[in-house]
Chain A
Amino acid sequence: MKLSVKHLPAKIYIAIIIVIVYLPIILVVLLSFNVSANVTFPITGWTLDWYIAKPKGYEYGSYISVLYDKSFWKALTNSVYVSVAAGLLTCFIVTMTALTLRRRIPGRDILFYMILLGFIVPGIALGLGNVLSHRMLGWKPSFWTPVMLDVIFAVPFGLVLMMARFEPKLMEYELSASSLKASPLQVFRHITLPLIIWEVISAAIFGFLLAWSEVIRTQFVIHGTGVLSTFILTELEINPVTTKWYAAGTILTAISVAGLIVFAWILSRQTARR
């Protein structure tokens, strides 16, 4: 690859935008090790206290370290369950739907538009509507309610990502396998799945990541400690923003970024294959 000087301004522009988008996130990580409780510069000293300090007994809310904040860990556990469930369900629904939508069957457009609607309908309307529909149908809001809302939001993304990246000859391979008398299940297991496995995994990761950060829809249908996003939202309504929340944010962001690295790796892998 030749790095021509002519394209240098363009590359600098791309770099600047990425830095602007990332600067606040980098500062969160940096400032989470600050001694001061204020989330501004200067950094008065480096410490891990906001992560692991044992409470002396009088701290509360924003001044207790992340490790000893029981509600935080409860919310984190809930978040993990919700996000994993949302990821698996997204992956399952996206795979089933994507594989079928390729075929010319009557009515597929209706389902496709419905799925698209899940992204287009504003989050607040979806959250509100689900509160009301739960009341009407007599369902109690449970663990599954936020999961379903996250899945509704994640499926359109997952579907587009998956279908746009299908192996072009996938259907031909399947056809030749089934004309050689392979059963539909065998075709799926030995032909389809190995060819789309990375798309399937990336759909699951995307569902997980979206559920991990979603708050607008989730905050309507959650009760008690809730998941992390709603927990921090309610905490910050009554408590000041201190370095503790930056420490919590660093943990959350680390998980998001870890998921995204795998996701990016999968995407680049596929690009390289083509």
Chain B
Amino acid sequence: MVKYTNYLMLLPGLLLCVFFLVIPLGIIIRIGLAESVSTAEFEIHGLTLQNYVRYFTSPQTIDILGNTFGTALITCFICFLVAYPFAYFLTFYIENQKIKSYIISLLMVPFLIDWNIRTIAWIPILGDKGIVNSTLMSLGLIKEPISLLFGQAGLYIIWLQTYVLFMMFPIYLALNRIDPDLIQAAKVLKAPPHRVFYDVIFKLSLPGVVCGWIFVFVSTLGDFLTPGLWAGGFQTLGLSISTFFGKNVWPYACTLSTVMIVIALAALYILLKMVDIKKLIYES
């Protein structure tokens, strides 16, 4: 009796996942293998690998995948550089628990602010007449305004602002779980500070670092609006998907989406190999 109630309670989550996650992904994979789809009555014709062949033999593919992975990994790296010291200082140098949780909540604000507002907010700072350009010009360092916003710099800044929390939070959790006695032991045994940091603290925080990289990576992978509007004619996988979808070339759009989903699943697999998330949540 109790058992059935348990499954009954899982039912809403299960239905949600099946209808709005599993079925849509299944359809994407199926249409990615189709020859054509009639848009009017939605009939799927044929079963073929020709889309994949076309995709992987296309000369642009290397560039687009390069751009996609390149921007995503650079964003991860920038976020990591900013977030690791942040998480470290927050863990070891701020004593007050309340202030800690307020600081974490503060970092959530940009992620939860409307995307449009978050991006146009950079115009007064990075735009042609923005603070950075006018400062540099009045200092005489540059003569013409440099295009900060509609280039890759703008993209990285916006992504850093949005996703830094995704990097910071897992690292912070990992650092918090390090047994202070271990650090103390290393110090007592006269390890030099850089070895205490690298061999004890950094290595023990690696699961959090991997978590952070993967969170930021998949978030930037799925975000096609920011590179589309703010990075000026620069192709990524997400942008190609939206272009082909917009032109109603569904099979090809779905093929590209499948590639993207596979990349994301690979990231998830690495994550699960590195960190036992289940333990973190329901088996502690």
Contact = CB atoms under 8 A, between A and B. Distances in A.
A124 B222 contact: yes
Given A40-B129, A121-B261, A129 B9 contact: no
A210 interface: yes
Given A111-B10, A267-B101, A130 B116 contact: no
A48 interface: no
A133 B21 CA distance: 10
Given A96-B10, A245-B120, A229 B115 contact: yes
A105 B3 CA distance: 8
B139 interface: no
Contact of B24 (A17, A24, A103, A133): A133
A233 B16 contact: no
B27 A132 contact: yes
Given A209-B112, A216-B223, A228-B114, A152 B21 contact: yes
B241 A124 contact: yes
Interface stretch (B53-61, B103-111, B183-191, B201-209): B103-111
Q: Is the interface of B mostly helix, strand, loop or mixed?
A: helix
Contact of A93 (B12, B21, B95, B106): B12
A215 B222 contact: no
B28 A132 contact: yes
Instruction: List the 5 closest pairs (A to B, CB-CB), nearest first.
Output: A122-B222, A129-B24, A264-B105, A249-B117, A24-B121
16 contacts: A18-B107, A21-B106, A21-B107, A24-B125, A97-B9, A111-B14, A112-B281, A120-B268, A121-B25, A215-B116, A233-B225, A241-B123, A248-B117, A249-B121, A256-B112, A256-B114
Given A228-B114, A268-B98, 5 more contacts: A13-B89, A14-B103, A121-B218, A121-B222, A124-B260
Interface of B: 3, 5-7, 9-10, 12-14, 16-17, 19-25, 27-28, 31, 42, 82, 85-86, 89-90, 93-98, 100-118, 120-125, 127, 129-131, 134, 161, 164, 218, 221-225, 238, 241-242, 245, 250, 253-254, 257, 260-261, 264-265, 267-268, 277-278, 280-282
